[in-house]
Chain A
Amino acid sequence: MKTMFFTQAIDDALAQSMADDPRVILFGEDIPLMRRNLLVRFGPERVRGTPISESTFLGAGVAAAMTGLRPVVEVYMVDFLGVAMDALLNHAAKVKAFSGGKWTAPLVVRAPCGGGYGDGGQHEQSLWGWLAHIPELTILVPSTPADAGGLMLAALQHDGPVIFLEHKLLSETWLEFLGSGARRTVQFDVPAAGAKGAVPSKWRPLPIGKAILRRAGDDVMIVSVGVGVHRAQAAAQTLEAEGISAGVLDLRTVSPLDKPAICEAVAHTGRLLVVDEDYESFGLSGELAAVVLEAGISCSYARVCTQTTLPYARQLEDQSLPNQQRICASVRQLLQEQ
């Protein structure tokens, strides 16, 4: 079976789309180097480097999408969307409503996200909950190479703005570029199954808004996205030895949420643990509690999230991000409460 690294899979799906659809173009900072394999195949008209001008090239991506192109706009890191938020918040997300449903902006914003390699609080945020708060933005957070490629294809076929978040800890190229290039003296806790894995011989779009059950369980359902899914799976493995049966649901799409899958999984276990690398308050973890409550499901609930600005110091950072120890402790606590 064919296997690929995480970013390789995304680029491969992107290449398939670009070969099939001449409307797909790609631009962003340092793209000639970062996407050089696409540049030499599709040429500089479709693969473009930009100045460090996020607010303009993102805003231009929105308008280009409105007028026939299918832009994939890359920003260096999701944190830097802060510079360009107007393009997403007030434009990409509003076109459909303002035009009475007659006009959309089908652009894909691709951004590396997440921590675990020591870059600190301005370069390691997740922010999917912050983005998902805005109606009409679709937020994808894949956790495996197969999902990453399939969801990139789905994003390119979607009729509205999509934010595609690529976790740096899973990305062989970002981790090499930012964390370990030229030195072998640093180690990162990279989930192997997320960094490299089986992929289909031809990419097909995965459905947006469909979660996948990574592991069945009877006592508690751990719901997560991105690297958190792998941390949850490792924790579930540990808990199994203690006689605790923990399931893991990988949302894959943060917005729109797969409410039926969430409700079904939580109704079965009666306990919900959210593992979310994004900030704890006012985000995905609270939203999941609301989804379950609104469905009338009675369950006990806990969450393991990032609560503060991410510290630069590695030891502090490791404690701040959801890790296996915190997840296991939280599950044990949940089981004791009843």
Chain B
Amino acid sequence: MPPDLWALYALMLESRLFEEAVASLWHDGLISGEMHLGTGEEAIVAGVVAHLREGDAMALDHRGTAALLMRGVDPALILRELLGHPDGLCGGMGGHMHLFSKEHLAASSGIVGAEGPAAVGFALSAQVLRPGAIAVAFFGEGAMNQGMLMESLNLASAWNLPVVFVCKDDGWAITTHSARVTGGDLTDRARGLGVQAAEVDGRDVSAVWEACRPAIERARSGGGPAFLRARCVHLEGHFLGFQLLRMVREPLREMPRIAVPLTGAFLHPGGAGLRERLAGLRTVLEAVLATLRDPRRDPANDPVRRARAALHLEEARLEELEAQVKEALNDVLAATLVEAPA
């Protein structure tokens, strides 16, 4: 059975448009604190969540909005939560990093790697109380270096738990290039702990859906945990206002205030010799240069555009679907924003 690309595209588009609206509200100052969007990882989330059913649980990271929307949580409740309304999804207490929906067995955490133990516990409940149900953990590749996540892979393997560990690999642990701080191969690491592992192009929703299906079916039927590594590009970097992206997008504004103290420190007497200083400078420049080779500019890295391209032959149906999604979102925005927060 092939995936229903129309349904997957609709899930992705709803999430993308919702998060673009969130970005705009954040820039307007109506949403406080940090804001980690899931834009760029929609294909991974949709390709996994489309397989879930009643009784399945999700352990989410600090980027959980897309998964909750696709799981069917009311977008108005999420929006009200992000705006800090008392009638938001979590009563204004959680915010975007700490979204919870008991009804959907979905819990988020802002602690990197905490999705591992959470998914293991959800899966234990499923194994004992809801045979056939599974748990999914969504996390980034940076989380793979947290002890608790590695321990979770091991425990899920030892107890043969129905967990699917989904690693959304964008190659960056906040501002650190993951390859610089990671030993070995992550997929091999999961295999080394006895977990069935697969890799997939996380920008291709059909590929994710197909790669995920056998893993989920196996977990449901008692075959134990699986690990899915899906590569993607975060379109807004780690979070909105990400310093590395700002340097690239607004160099005239951002570079002087970074370059001036940096030059002063580089030339300051006392400290390392020239060779060490140059090595330090190279480390800083590498992060900036890696951002300059901005993969965000390549439309092939945008999973929503890719899915749309695959459907483009039915232009009229596409336009109808897109109009429906936009209208539904506009209704949510209008209903929520009419009562502007105090």
Whether A119 pairs with B262 at a CB distance below 8 angstroms is: no
Q: Which residue of A is nearest B174, CB measured?
A: A30
CB <8 Å contact, B173 and A32: no
Contacts of B244 in A (CB 8 A): 33
Closest chain-A Cβ to B236's Cβ sits at a distance in Å of 10
For chain B, the count of residues having a C-beta within 8 Å of the partner chain is 64
Digitize B134-156: 1 where CB-to-A-CB distance is under 8 Å, 0 elsewhere.
00000000110111100000000
Does A83 sit within 8 A of B, measured CB to CB? yes
Q: Report if B316 contacts A (CB, 8 A).
A: no
| B27, A183: Cβ atoms closer than 8 Å | yes
B224: Cβ under 8 A from any A Cβ: no
Q: A122-B97, A309-B93 are in contact. Are A44 and B276 (CB under 8 A)?
A: yes
Which partner residue on chain A sits nearest B92 by CB separation?
A313
Is the CB–CB distance between B86 and A313 below 8 Å? yes
Residues of B within 8 A of A49 (CB): 176, 180-181
Question: Is A47 interfacial (CB-CB < 8 Å)?
Answer: yes
Interchain nearest-CB distance for A114 vs B (Å): 13
B6 within 8 A of A: no
Q: Are B265 and A312 in contact (CB under 8 A)?
A: no
Interface pick from B68-76, B161-169, B267-275: B267-275
Which A residues are in CB contact (< 8 Å) with B84? 118, 312-316
B113: chain A residues at CB < 8 Å are 52, 83
- Complex: chain A residue closest to B269, CB-CB: A19
In the assembly, what is the distance between CA of A50 and CA of B142, in Å?
A: 11
Task: Say yes or no: A119-B241 contact (C-beta < 8 A), given A29-B174, A185-B28.
Answer: no
Closest to B273 in A: A43
Q: Given A80-B111, A313-B86 in contact, is the A51-B92 Cβ separation under 8 Å?
A: no
Q: Is A45 an interface residue (CB 8 A)?
A: yes
Within 246-285 of B, Cβ neighbours of A (below 8 Å) are at 246, 258, 261-262, 264-266, 268, 270-273, 275-277, 279-281, 283-284
Most buried by A among B27, B109, B178: B27
Interface status of A177 (Cβ within 8 A of chain B): yes
Instruction: Give me the interface of A with B, judged by CB distance under 8 Å.
Output: 15, 18-19, 29-30, 32-34, 36-47, 49-56, 76, 79-80, 82-83, 117-123, 177-183, 185-186, 309, 311-316
Choose one: B143, B240, B268; the contact of A52 (CB below 8 Å).
Answer: B143
B65 CB, min distance to chain A CBs, angstroms: 14
Contact of B241 among A38, A43, A120, A181 (CB under 8 A): A181
Give the total number of A-B pairs whose CB atoms are below 8 A apart: 184
Taking a contact as CB atoms under 8 Å apart, the answer to whether B33 and A119 are in contact is: yes
Tell me whether B243 is interfacial, beta carbon within 8 Å: yes
Interchain CA distance A294-B33 in the complex, whole Å:
42
Q: List 8 A-B contacts (CB under 8 A).
A: A32-B287, A33-B243, A38-B265, A41-B270, A55-B147, A79-B111, A178-B33, A181-B246
Contact A41 B95 (CB under 8 A): no
Give Cα distance in the complex from A205 to B301, angstroms.
52
Task: Evaluate whether A312 and B98 lie within 8 angstroms (CB atoms) in the complex, with A50-B181, A53-B146, A185-B28 already known.
Answer: yes
Report how far A312 CA is from B32 CA in the complex, Å: 8
Residue A37 contacts which of B34, B240, B261 (CB distance < 8 angstroms)?
Answer: B261
Closest beta carbon of chain A to B322's beta carbon, Å: 29
Residues of A contacting B287 in the complex (Cβ-Cβ under 8 angstroms): 32-33
In the bound complex, what is the Cα–Cα distance between A49 and B286 (angstroms)? 13
Q: With A and B bound together, what is the CA distance between A115 and B147 in angstroms?
A: 28
Q: Which 6 A-B pairs have the closest CB atoms?
A: A118-B32, A43-B276, A185-B29, A312-B95, A313-B84, A182-B241
Separation of A21 and B14 alpha carbons in the complex (Å) = 56
A55, A76, A179: the one contacting B33 at CB < 8 Å is A179
Contacts of A76 in B (CB 8 A): 174
Given the interface pairs A183-B27, A314-B32, the reply to whether A83 lies near B174 with Cβ below 8 Å is: no
Partner of B109, one of A30, A33, A50, A122: A122
**A33-B243, A43-B276 known; A52-B142 Cβ under 8 A:** yes
Measured between alpha carbons, how far is A308 from B68 in the docked complex, in Å?
26
Most B CB within 10 A of own CB, among A18, A55, A83: A83
Query: Is residue B5 within 8 Å, beta carbon to beta carbon, of the partner chain?
Result: no
Tell me, in angstroms, the Cα distance from A117 to B143 when the chains sit together: 25
Cross-chain contact A120 with B279 (CB below 8 angstroms): no
The interface residues of chain A lying within 8 Å CB-to-CB of B273 are 43
* B182 at the binding interface (Cβ < 8 Å): yes
Known contacts: A41-B272, A181-B241, A315-B342. The answer to whether A52 contacts B280 by CB under 8 A is no
Residues of A within 8 A of B268 (CB): 15, 41
Q: Which of A36, A121, A316 contacts B98 (CB 8 A)?
A: A121
What CA separation (Å) do A323 and B261 show in the bound complex? Answer: 35
Q: Which of B81, B148, B271 contacts A42 (CB 8 A)?
A: B271
For the complex, what is the distance from the CA of A37 to the CA of B277, rounded to whole Å? 10
Closest B residue, CB atoms, query A316:
B92
Having A30-B175, A122-B109, one finds 5 other A-B pairs with CB under 8 Å, namely A33-B176, A41-B280, A123-B33, A182-B27, A312-B81
Instruction: Say whether B110 faces chain A, with CB atoms less than 8 Å apart.
Output: yes
Task: Mark contacts of B20-50 with chain A using CB atoms, 8 A cut-off: 1 yes-contact digit, 0 otherwise.
Answer: 0000001111001110000000000000000
Query: B182 contacts A51, CB within 8 Å?
Result: yes
A295 to B28, CA, bound (A): 53
